[in-house]
Amino acid sequence: MALPNGLRVVISPDRTAPVATVGVYYNIGFRIEPRGRSGFAHLFEHMMFQGSANAGKMMHIKLVNSSGGVLNGSTHYDVTNYYESVPSNALERVLWLEADRMRALKVDDENLRNQRDVVKEEVRVNVLNQPYGGFPWLDLPPVAYRNWSNAHNFYGDFDDLDAANLDDVQKFFKTYYAPSNAVLLILGDVDTDEAIGLAERHFASIPSGPQPTPADIDEPPQIDERRGVVEEKFGTLPGIAIGYQAPRRLTPEWYAAAMLDHAFHGGRSGRVYRRLVLEQQIAVDAEGGIHYPVGDLFDYNGPTLMVTRLLHKPEYSADQTIAAYDQILDEMKEKGIAADELEPIKVKFRSNYFSNLEGGHGPSIPRYGLMHLLACFTLFDNEPSLVNTILDGFMQVTPSEVQSVAQKLLTRHNRSIVIRQPAKKGAA
Amino acid sequence: MASAPRSDTPSAVPPLAPARPVIWPPRVHRTLSNGLEVVLVESHGIPKFTGELFFRSGNAVVAAQAPGLADMTATVARTGTQRRTSRQIEEDLRRMGADLSSGAGADNSVISFAGLVDFSNELLGLVSELAQRAIFPEDEFERERRQLVEGLRIERTTPGFLASERLRRVLFGAHPYGTISPTEEQVTHYRVEQLKDFYQRYYRPGNALLVMVGDFAPEKMLAEIETAFGAWTGGPAEGAPDPALPELQSRRVYLVHLPGSVQTQLSIGNRAITRKDPDWLRLTLANSIYGGAFNSRLVMNIREEKGYTYSPRSGAHPMRQHGYFSIGAAVRNDVVAAALKEIFYEIDRMRSTPVGEDELDDARSYLTGVFSLGLATQDGLAGQLATATLEKLPDDYLETYRERVLKLTSADVLDAARKYFDSEHAQIVIVGDRAQIEAQAAQFGAPEVYDAQGSRIQ
């Protein structure tokens, strides 16, 4: 349903346990933050915890924690979310808080300075001061993409973070945080009518705003393999990340690519790990996925990559490692996949999907995964009920469709490679 | 909830509705005739189940041979049985829609698994095989050993690891808890016979606990467990040694030099207590007020007021024989001294001034609420059950947890802070680029300086 101001509301009741999870998702992610303001969507997410009209700095955190709940927010390519899990007797309080900050953000220069400092330490602890920090989620986009929206530093250049001011904050809020650009999700211990009543009570009076103009996130077609090298300042092993431009969501090719991805990156039985780590022992770690590692198959709404991330032994060169990897891909393109490999992949895919619905974000946020899917299907497709039917499309993929999509996607001119080269030799 | 009072103006915070009770699902707790302890709980949200097969022996029990041997044993145990090769095991897991991992900490080894209920019989069969009939193939062992060595080299460039390593060494010395990771040299000397020996001695039903939560009927699942594990034999195993702990002198500073660091990892700690200690909940509550929650004093101070750090946190860490309390924060290089000053200021405030009723009430609500949230997923519930059962806590430990927290007082918090937030004997570990931080560190005591390999350089 949608309120007259355009806010969509999705309710998923389950009264088994006396806990509820609430999410508000805005249809804005770091992909389309303003030029010259790299990292702003994420910095702004921090600002949403700094105070709103009736709940000043720390009130959001204090009210949720003191009600026995936890809360957080996260910035993705195309969405930003704010969520709380609480004992269900605090549900109305949480809705009040979310409505208050959707209605009016109330922050000052001091808040902005403070969170700018906090974000810089976040970038340092996650990227600049960690082995393989940002590898490959910050390394691949500038190599793989030509459109600034897709290619820039999503965590933010420090100069850009420093340049951000309060006008930027309020303008961004006005442009992207209108109710019509958001979805409210209420999951867990509540009945539907009551949830609708609470949503109306707290959110209906928020004034509507204009819809933001859709940003241009299109990429020109890729015609050549793209390569880049990034220095690894701390870690001892060379890393290689390979990304293939992936199909658009919900297309027939997307379903097949998901199965292909699982065949390659499905843990220790996936072809890449099995061959490169377990059998040939060229790599010591191999992971990957569509929209990996900061997203999944469902939570993007524009160009993305199917990524493989390898850490390999220093006695193998990058070329040798890539050649061994290419062989795995070539076999798939030439021989395809047998039904007795694809069928187990479907079973595992289904099983993973269920686990994600129930939890998906650690033990303190029940139903985070369900919330995330519902939000993306609502904001991107206007169809939350896809959560009930989307599995069918994957279950119907045939071996020949997997082979076809492999032949189409896994070409040299469709890929980008980043080598993460250790600055020093491995420690003795 | 429908009868709850409601606010009519947008400016007023809605009050809390009356809390709905947590309904505890019936729990089956049995010991099979071979000694295997089993805990089963239904949870029907998704057509899956999750399980953990624990052995009450971990790295500590074999620390005299080498650190990390239990973990290596668990790692290699999944790579081959009398009936299945490594590849078959992985493919069988996928066919059942299952995940499986194995590993060991200081006190326990564990095989964790989850899968679709349709395949529960088969998955239990595989887990049972891994627990009884692992063969430790030489080539798999060699591969895992090399992977471990490469992993250790990377760990030695990770500030969080280096801080934990030094703090644990300082707090526990030569006790097994004082070593969190083997050296490369020690791993090179691992022999596959040591793994087999560990497996023989400790992977036995009399030393094991199986916890399962999921979409099943417990009695029927119990029958499946009997079929899979009933014929397994082996009594209890001996516990880990508990050598003397070092005497901690006054406050001391340890600097681990990681050249090129653009941030400094702080880790401050004291020895504390286990979950069995009568003070455990008091300490938990004090920790939650100090630095264990987003809304805590430490986070307010050094993140939300001062902007020194992104994720400061404190925690009480219980192990089987001992425990410790630690405070961690990754801070800007130029505020190392300033951050330490605030960390100790907040500790001393906890130790000197009783917590007010509002803050106390908030913290009690936080602990009880988060506890309830943790029961709402199969994994969360299994984790809580495992903790309570492994440490042999009272049978009603989980059921009474919330009411016991709600009874704690401001005096309890003060008491716990005075006992366990021992600022006078706090051990301070600082990991970063020496040139940028040593003078700041020295304000808290002459630092002992180590390199990233763990050697003392000053």
- In sequence order, what DSSP letters do the residues of A324-393 get, joined into one string? HHHHHHHHHHHH---HHHHHHHHHHHHHHHHHHHH-SS-TTSTTHHHHHHHHHHHHHHS-TTHHHHHHHH
**Is the Cβ pair A274, B90 closer than 8 Å?**
yes
Task: Give the tens place of pLDDT for each residue, B108-159.
Answer: 999 999 999 999 999 999 999 999 999 999 999 999 999 999 999 999 999 9
Report residue A408 as tokens. 């189409």
DSSP string spanning B121-165? HHHHHHHHHHHH-B---HHHHHHHHHHHHHHHHHHTT-HHHHHHH
Instruction: Give the DSSP H/E element, type plus range, for residue A176.
Output: helix A166-176
Interface probe, candidates A11, A121, A132, A356, chain B, greatest B C-beta count within 10 A:
A121
Asked: is B252-451 a CATH 3.40.50.1580 domain? The reply is no
Residue B4, pLDDT > 50, answer: no
Alpha-carbon torsion, ordered A165, A170, A174, A177, to 10 deg: 90
- Is the CB of A421 inside 8 Å of chain B's CB atoms? no
B49 to chain A: which residues are within 8 Å by CB? none
H helix and E strand count, chain B: 16, 12
Nearest CB partner across the interface for A345, out of B94, B307, B453: B94
| A362 conformational bin, left if phi > 0, alpha if psi -120 to 50, beta if neither | left
Contact, A9 vs A184, CB < 8 A?
yes
**Is the Cβ pair B14, A85 closer than 8 Å?**
no
Nearest CB partner across the interface for B373, out of A70, A130, A269: A70
DSSP string spanning A193-258? HHHHHHHHHHHTTSPP-PPPPPP----PPP-S-EEEEEEESS-SS-EEEEEEEPPPTTSHHHHHHH
Strands A415-422 and A226-232: parallel
- Work out the angle between the directed axes of helices A40-47 and A166-176 (0-180°, nearest 10): 90
**Is the Cβ pair B22, A17 closer than 8 Å?**
yes
CA B376, B379, B385, B391 torsion: positive or negative?
negative
Q: State which amino acid sits at residue A374.
A: L
DSSP string spanning B266-326? EEEEEEE--TTSTTHHHHHHHHIIIIISTTSHHHIIIIIIT--BS--EEEEEE-SS-EEEE
**Is the Cβ pair B97, A351 closer than 8 Å?**
yes
Residue B360, pLDDT > 60, answer: yes
Average pLDDT, chain B: 96
Instruction: Give the DSSP H/E element, type plus range, for residue B40.
Output: strand B37-42
pLDDT at position B2, please?
A: 36
Strands B37-42 and B208-214: parallel
Closest residue on chain B to A201 (Cα): B8
Mean pLDDT of A122-149: 98
Interface of A with B in 104-133 (CB under 8 A): 113-122, 124-125, 128-132
Residue A371 to residue A373: CA distance in whole angstroms: 6
What are the angstrom distances between the C-alpha of B312 and each of A147, A217, A393, B294, B296?
A: 37, 36, 44, 9, 10
Residue B103, pLDDT > 60, answer: yes
Residue B439, pLDDT > 60, answer: yes
**Is the Cβ pair A114, B307 closer than 8 Å?**
yes
**Is the Cβ pair B294, A71 closer than 8 Å?**
yes
Q: What are φ and ψ of residue A294, in 5° steps?
A: -105, 20
Residue A336 to residue A257: CA distance in whole angstroms: 13
A303: distance to nearest CA of chain B, Å?
30
| A39 conformational bin, left if phi > 0, alpha if psi -120 to 50, beta if neither | left
Residue B27, pLDDT > 70, answer: yes
Report residue A311 as tokens. 């850490």
Nearest to B333 by CA among B430, B456, B458, B195: B430
ipTM score assigned to the predicted complex: 0.96
B361 to chain A: which residues are within 8 Å by CB? 66
Interface probe, candidates A54, A60, A89, A122, chain B, greatest B C-beta count within 10 A:
A89
B19 to chain A: which residues are within 8 Å by CB? 18, 87, 89
**Alpha helix stretches (DSSP H) within B374-430:** 378-390, 397-406, 410-420
CA A93-A97-A100 angle, to 5 degrees, is: 135
Quick one: A65 exposed, middle or buried, by C-beta within 10 A (0-12, 13-18, 19+)? buried
- Is the CB of A424 inside 8 Å of chain B's CB atoms? no
Task: Give the tens place of pLDDT for each residue, A379-416.
Answer: 999 999 999 999 999 999 999 999 999 999 999 999 99
Mean pLDDT of B416-423: 96
B214: distance to nearest CA of chain A, Å?
11
A224: distance to nearest CA of chain B, Å?
34
Interface of A with B in 368-387 (CB under 8 A): none
Other CB atoms within 10 A of residue B156 CB? 23
Interface of A with B in 190-209 (CB under 8 A): 190, 194, 201-202, 205
pLDDT at position B9, please?
A: 55
Closest residue on chain B to A359 (Cα): B377
Task: Give the tens place of pLDDT for each residue, B28-67.
Answer: 999 999 999 999 999 999 999 999 999 999 999 999 999 9
B382 to chain A: which residues are within 8 Å by CB? none
Residue A283, pLDDT > 50, answer: yes
Nearest to B88 by CA among B79, B101, B98: B79
Report residue A112 as tokens. 């902005």
- CA B326 from chain center: how many Å? 13
Residue B445 to residue A244: CA distance in whole angstroms: 53
B7: distance to nearest CA of chain A, Å?
9
Nearest CB partner across the interface for A85, out of B10, B294, B373: B373
Residue A267, pLDDT > 50, answer: yes
Residue B296, pLDDT > 50, answer: yes
Residue B7, pLDDT > 90, answer: no
Residues comprising chain B, all counted: 458
**Alpha helix stretches (DSSP H) within B25-158:** 69-77, 86-95, 120-132, 138-155
Interface of A with B in 263-292 (CB under 8 A): 266-269, 274, 277-278, 281, 284-285
The set of residues, in sequence order, having a beta carbon less than 8 Å from that of A353 and lying 6+ positions away, is A391
B331 to chain A: which residues are within 8 Å by CB? 121
B15 to chain A: which residues are within 8 Å by CB? 93
Q: Which domains does chain A have, with CATH numbers?
A: 8-203 (3.30.830.10), 226-422 (3.30.830.10)
pLDDT at position B217, please?
A: 96
**Is the Cβ pair B157, A236 closer than 8 Å?**
yes
Residue B212 pairs with which residues in a beta bridge? B40, B51
Instruction: Give the DSSP H/E element, type plus range, for residue B193.
Output: helix B192-202
Instruction: Give the DSSP H/E element, type plus range, for residue B187.
Output: helix B184-188
Residue B1, pLDDT > 90, answer: no
The CATH architecture one would assign to domain B27-229 is 2-Layer Sandwich (3.30)
- pLDDT tier at B365, thresholds 50, 70, 90: very high
Q: Which residue has the tokens 């016979």?
A: B193
A233 to chain B: which residues are within 8 Å by CB? 260
Quick one: B12 exposed, middle or buried, by C-beta within 10 A (0-12, 13-18, 19+)? exposed
A53 to chain B: which residues are within 8 Å by CB? 11
pLDDT at position A425, please?
A: 52
Residue A416 to residue A139: CA distance in whole angstroms: 11
* pTM assigned to the model: 0.96
Residues comprising chain A, all counted: 428
Domains of chain B by residue range: 27-229, 252-451
Residue B8, pLDDT > 60, answer: no
B376 to chain A: which residues are within 8 Å by CB? 16-17, 19, 188, 366
Residue B345 to residue B445: CA distance in whole angstroms: 17
- pLDDT tier at B10, thresholds 50, 70, 90: low
Mean pLDDT of A355-359: 95
Task: Give the tens place of pLDDT for each residue, B366-387.
Answer: 999 999 999 999 999 999 999 9
- Interface A–B counts its CB contacts (< 8 A) at 255
Residue B317, pLDDT > 80, answer: yes
Mean pLDDT of B172-195: 98
Asked if the domains at B27-229 and B252-451 fall in one CATH topology, the answer is yes
- Is the CB of A5 inside 8 Å of chain B's CB atoms? no
